[in-house]
Amino acid sequence: MSRSKSGMAGFVIVLLIIGMTIVAPLVMNHTIAPDPAHAWEGPSGGHLLGTDNSGRDVLKQVLLGGGTVIFVGLGAAAVTTVIAVALGSLAAYLRGWVDSALLQLTDIFMTIPQIVLLAVLGSFFQLTSPILLALLLGSFSWPVLMRSIRAQVLTLKEREFVEAARSLDLGTLRVVFVEIVPNMAGYILINFIIAVTNAIYALVGLYVLGLAPLSGANWGIMIHQAWTYGAIYIASGTPYILAPVFAIALVQLGLVMLTRSLEEVFNPRLAEG
C-alpha cells in the first residue's frame, strides 16, 4: 500500500477518524450539557471551535458525532455488497429464468425514488436505531453494483478453473462463492468503499432534510441544526456548520484516496505503470 503516497495518506486518514470515533466516547461524556449563557460564542481557549445555539462545545460534538455516521456507512455498504454479490453472481451463473427475474427485480428497485421511500418509511417507523438505518440504506442501494458483479461473473464463468470445478460436480453454491467470487475480491472491496461513501451521503442527507429522528449527536444532525438555527447568518456560528461538513468531507476524501492503493494492491500492473 505504501507504493501510492495518496493511497497511504487516505488509509491513515480513515484509520485516524475511525480511531477517534472509538476513543472519543470512552474518554468524553456522551451528554454535552447546554449552557445558554455562552450561546454562539466564537473560537476561544475554552471552546476551540466555539459553541452552538445552546452553548454546547462544537469540537466535542464533532468528536462524538462520527460514530453513528461511520457505523451506518459501513453497515449499509456491507448489506449492499452482500446482496449485490449474491444476486449478481447467481444471476450470471444460472442464467435463464433466474437471470431474467433478478434483472427485472433490479429494474424495479432502480425506478423507486429512494429518498421518497425513506421519507415514507420514516413516517411509519422510528428510525432511531443505527442498525435499522444501515439495513434500510443498504437494502435499496444494491442494483447498480449487482449489474456490475453480474457482468464480471459472466466473464469469469468461462475460465478453465470454473470448467474444472463444474466437471468435479462441486455444486452451484461452491462453484459460485468459493471458486468465482474470491477472484473478484479486489473489485468487490473497491466497490464496498464506494458504497460506504454513498451511504454516508445518503444518511447525512436524511438528517439534513429532517427525515430521520434528530435525537443524539452526529454530523448530520449538526448540519441540520446549524441550518435551522441560522448559523450561516451568524459570524461566530460559522464553525458550527463548517466543522461537520469538513469532517464528512475528510472521511470521504480518505476513502476515495484509499481506493487508489487498493487498486494497485489487487492489480499489480497499475503499480508497474
Taking only the tens place, the pLDDT of each residue in 17-49 is: 999 988 988 888 777 788 888 889 889 888 899
* Mean predicted confidence (pLDDT) in 250-264: 85
Q: What is the pLDDT of residue 100?
A: 94
Q: Is the pLDDT of residue 251 over 90?
A: yes
Q: Can you tell me the distance from the alpha carbon of 121 to that of 213, in angstroms, rounded to the nearest whole number?
A: 12
Residues 6+ apart with CB under 8 A from 21: 66, 67, 70
Q: Can you tell me the distance from the alpha carbon of 205 to that of 226, in angstroms, rounded to the nearest whole number?
A: 14
Q: Can you tell me the distance from the alpha carbon of 39 to that of 52, in angstroms, rounded to the nearest whole number?
A: 6
Please identify which residue in the block is written with the cell numbers 497511504. Answer: 8
Ramachandran bin of 95, using left for φ above 0, alpha for ψ from -120 to 50, beta for the remaining angles: left
Q: Can you tell me the distance from the alpha carbon of 33 to that of 16, in angstroms, rounded to the nearest whole number?
A: 27
Q: Can you tell me the distance from the alpha carbon of 246 to that of 252, in angstroms, rounded to the nearest whole number?
A: 10
* Mean predicted confidence (pLDDT) in 81-108: 93
**250, 14 Cβ separation under 8 angstroms:** no
Q: Can you tell me the distance from the alpha carbon of 13 to that of 15, in angstroms, rounded to the nearest whole number?
A: 5
Choose between 4 and 246: higher pLDDT: 246
- Lowest-pLDDT range of 4-8, 91-95, 248-252: 4-8
Q: Can you tell me the distance from the alpha carbon of 38 to that of 268, in angstroms, rounded to the nearest whole number?
A: 56
SS3 40: coil
Q: Is the entire prediction scored with pTM above 0.75? A: yes
Q: Is 64 exposed, middle or buried (0-12, 13-18, 19+ CB in 10 A)?
A: buried
- Lowest-pLDDT range of 4-13, 52-61, 101-110, 172-181: 4-13
Q: What is the pLDDT of residue 267?
A: 65
B/e letters for 147-182, b = 16+ CB within 10 Å, e = fewer, are bbbbebbeebbeeeebeebeeeeeeeeebbeebbbe
* Mean predicted confidence (pLDDT) in 232-260: 89
Q: In this predicted model, what pLDDT tens digit does every residue of 183-239 receive, in sequence order?
A: 888 889 989 999 999 999 888 888 888 777 776 678 988 898 888 888 888 888 889
Q: Is the pLDDT of residue 273 over 70?
A: no
DSSP state of 175: I
Q: What is the pLDDT of residue 256?
A: 87
Q: What is the pLDDT of residue 272?
A: 53
Would you report the helix, strand and coil content of the chain in percent, each value rounded to 5?
Answer: 75, 0, 25
**Long-range contacts at 7-11 (CB < 8 A, ≥ 24 apart):** 7/257, 7/258, 7/259, 7/260, 7/261, 7/262, 7/264, 8/261, 9/254, 9/257, 10/253, 10/254, 10/255, 10/256, 10/257, 10/258, 10/259, 10/260, 10/261, 11/254, 11/257, 11/258, 11/261
Residue among 206, 219, 256, 238 nearest 24 (CA): 219
